Amino acid sequence: MRSIHGQLSDNQPIRRSLAEKQKQLRDLKETLATMKSHTSPALRDSVKKRITQLQAELSAAPVLKTGPKDKPREASPGTSQDRPRRQGSRIRALTTF
Q: Which of 9-13, 43-47, 75-79 has the lowest mean pLDDT?
A: 75-79
DSSP state of 21: H
> Beta-carbon neighbour count of residue 66 at 10 Å?
9
Number of residues assigned to the chain: 97
Tell which residue, 8, 17, 28, 4, has the closest CA to residue 58.
17
pLDDT digits (tens, 9 = 90+) for 25-62: 999 999 999 999 999 999 999 999 999 999 999 998 76
| Inter-helix orientation angle 18-34/41-70, to 10° | 160
Instruction: List the chain domain ranges.
Output: 14-65
Rounded to 5 degrees, what angle do the CA atoms 64, 13, 30 make?
Answer: 80
Q: What is the pTM of this model?
A: 0.54
